[in-house]
């Protein structure tokens, strides 16, 4: 299906006429100034220039699968990405060799080591204990300056706690034993490498292409917080870090996180009535229930909010910490527990003010529950942290943004079937930092991974190929536009 037909079949119903069909004036792709690119850039459609019809068909699912089998065993814990960073550098060098790609690691570890102690606590992983051992991987492929440039990113770290092998089950890759597979986000690397391979093998004309592999996205987002803006230069800024291979995400959530803590007095269970003690565990459970922490994580009437507690601890408070640095409790048998804590997180796509209001509601609920629990009994002391300000501010990219349009055309043209353009994307936190620091609204595309961060994580080989075809076709469609001098 060619460009003009696609405009009628997909773009015009979905967008506000930013691109128009044949017979109308030439369409423009307009990129406003940003912190990284101070000059506005406008590209105009050349109707005589056609994207290669069959290029996306040369994406090889088995080659992508082979890449995954090679990189999945590589160690990739947050701030310990030395092995996967080296593997990513080698893979990108091999994929982009025919085009003279340049790949390096930046000096993030040195930059992090020079920070003030309070800033290190925010950048180092494991609650400020682990310094980043690798820099971000940054690749540059020089192209025709008259064509739009693309910035493609992924993150190097995963939640894969150990590697026990890979099991292929038809179209799916699975972990052999109880640990996340690591497809989030090694699949992003494999997809981007395949796109580069096809461009090189077919000798396709292209603009500048930058590829960025960021460290520690799953922990502090150290890579995105410290990377130089020049690495994110590009007209189209896209990350392969979603799940659904037919989804184009144009939004990132406003995020809060912190701890809820309840402290009471303790007693033997038989003395609860006489001593008027209160179970901290029971109070904590009631806070979660009353504040909207639902089993499905989406509070009632708020489908665009995720509110969840990802860690709870109950027992005797002796200042213990879990291996990940969470406050913990030491269990004591046959005692009314005087200490309870929960790590909580809210991700909201309803806007910053609504997120702030919902967080204030959690505090109000906590205070009310604790006051009621202490009535005519021993004191109940409750605390909430993380509600003073958001960790990350969300953003929404317009439906008429050039990246959304080109990717939409690309995915349809590549035969992906129905494509969802959605503002309901709860992940890809690197985008929040890139938006905050450089003003670039990053678009998120899927990878074919599913059940990420769990021991049931899988990735679809055909799903990865679908994303690679759609991304490549979108890039080639953009190359039909030339810079207006």
SS3 209: strand
What the block records as the tokens of 113 is 């080591």
- Of residues 349, 433, 445, 465, the one with CA closest to residue 404: 445
d(CA 429, CA 481): 31
Cα 77 to its chain centre, rounded Å, is 16
d(CA 466, CA 464): 5
Q: Alpha-carbon Rg of the chain, whole angstroms?
A: 25
pLDDT of residue 322: 84
- Supply the DSSP string of 28-89, one letter for each residue: EEEE---SS--S-EEEEE-TT----TTTGGG--HHHHHHHHHHHTTS---TT--HHHHHHHH
- Which residue do the tokens 């690397």 mark? 189
- Residue 383's φ and ψ, nearest 5 degrees, are -135, 150
Return the H-helix or E-strand segment holding 315.
strand 305-315
pLDDT of residue 325: 80
- Which residue do the tokens 């995963």 mark? 158
- Per-residue CA distances from 272 to 200, 211, 269, 376 (Å): 74, 62, 5, 13
Sequential pLDDT tens for the chain (485 residues): 444 444 434 443 333 333 323 333 347 999 999 888 889 999 999 999 999 988 999 999 999 999 999 999 999 999 999 999 999 999 999 999 999 999 999 999 999 999 999 999 999 999 899 999 999 999 999 999 999 999 999 999 999 988 889 999 999 999 988 789 999 999 999 999 999 999 999 999 999 999 999 999 999 999 999 999 999 999 999 999 999 999 999 999 999 999 999 999 999 999 999 999 999 999 999 999 999 999 999 999 999 999 999 899 999 998 888 877 889 999 888 999 999 999 999 999 999 999 999 999 999 999 999 999 999 999 999 999 999 999 999 999 999 999 999 999 999 999 877 899 998 887 778 999 999 999 999 999 999 999 999 999 999 999 999 999 999 999 999 999 999 98
Contact 454, 181 (CB under 8 A): no
- Of residues 224, 236, 254, the one with CA closest to residue 154: 224
pLDDT of residue 424: 84
pLDDT of residue 273: 92
Burial of 32 (0-12, 13-18, 19+ CB in 10 A): exposed
What the block records as the tokens of 186 is 């090694």
> pTM of the prediction?
0.91
SS3 152: strand
Return the H-helix or E-strand segment holding 255.
strand 254-263
d(CA 307, CA 21): 43
- The structural domains of the chain, ordered by start, are 3-252+394-483 (3.40.630.10), 254-384 (3.30.70.360)
Cα 412 to its chain centre, rounded Å, is 24
Beta-carbon neighbour count of residue 268 at 10 Å? 12
d(CA 11, CA 31): 18
d(CA 443, CA 271): 59
pLDDT of residue 26: 44
Which DSSP symbol is given to 148? Answer: P
- Of residues 250, 91, 230, the one with CA closest to residue 156: 91
d(CA 465, CA 61): 5
């Amino acid at each position: 299906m060619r460009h003009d037909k696609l405009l009628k079949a997909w773009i015009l119903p979905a967008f506000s006429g930013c691109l128009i069909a044949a017979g109308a004036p030439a369409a423009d792709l307009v990129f406003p100034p940003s912190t990284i690119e101070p000059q506005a850039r406008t590209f105009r459609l050349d109707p005589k220039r056609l994207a290669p019809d069959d290029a996306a068909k040369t994406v090889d699912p088995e080659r992508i699968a082979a890449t995954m089998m090679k990189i999945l065993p590589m160690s990739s814990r947050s701030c310990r990405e030395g092995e996967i960073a080296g593997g990513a550098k080698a893979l990108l060098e091999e994929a982009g060799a025919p085009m003279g790609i340049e790949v390096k690691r930046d000096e993030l570890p040195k930059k992090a080591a020079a920070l003030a102690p309070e800033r290190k606590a925010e950048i180092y992983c494991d609650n400020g204990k682990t310094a980043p051992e690798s820099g971000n991987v940054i690749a540059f492929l020089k192209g025709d300056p008259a064509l739009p440039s693309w910035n493609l990113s992924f993150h190097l770290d995963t939640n894969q706690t150990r590697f026990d092998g890979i099991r292929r089950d038809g179209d799916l890759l699975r972990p052999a034993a109880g640990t996340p597979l690591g497809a989030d986000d090694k699949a992003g690397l494999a997809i981007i490498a395949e796109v580069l391979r096809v461009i090189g093998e077919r000798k396709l004309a292209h603009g500048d292409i930058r590829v960025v592999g960021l460290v520690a996205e799953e922990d502090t987002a150290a890579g995105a917080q410290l990377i130089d803006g020049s690495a994110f230069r590009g007209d189209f800024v896209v990350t392969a870090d979603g799940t659904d291979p037919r989804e184009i995400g144009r939004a990132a959530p406003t995020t809060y996180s912190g701890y809820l803590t309840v402290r009471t007095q303790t007693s033997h269970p038989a003395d609860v009535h006489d001593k008027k003690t209160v179970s901290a565990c029971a109070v904590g459970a009631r806070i979660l229930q009353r504040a909207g922490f639902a089993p499905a994580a989406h509070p009632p009437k708020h489908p665009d909010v995720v509110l969840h507690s990802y860690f709870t601890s109950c027992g005797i408070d002796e200042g213990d910490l879990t291996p990940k640095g969470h406050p913990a409790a030491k269990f004591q048998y046959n005692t009314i527990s005087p200490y309870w804590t929960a790590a909580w997180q809210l991700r909201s796509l309803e806007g910053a003010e609504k997120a702030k209001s919902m967080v204030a509601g959690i505090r109000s609920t906590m205070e009310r529950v604790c006051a009621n629990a202490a009535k005519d009994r021993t004191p109940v002391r409750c605390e909430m942290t993380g509600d003073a300000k958001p960790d990350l501010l969300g953003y929404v990219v317009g439906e008429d943004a050039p990246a959304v349009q080109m990717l939409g055309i690309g995915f349809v043209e590549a035969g992906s079937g129905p494509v969802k353009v959605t503002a309901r994307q709860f992940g890809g936190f690197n985008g929040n930092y890139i938006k905050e620091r450089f003003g670039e609204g990053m678009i998120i595309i899927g990878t074919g991974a599913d059940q990420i961060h769990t021991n049931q994580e899988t990735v679809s080989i055909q799903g990865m190929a679908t994303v690679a075809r759609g991304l490549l076709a979108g890039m080639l469609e953009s190359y039909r536009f030339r810079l207006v001098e």
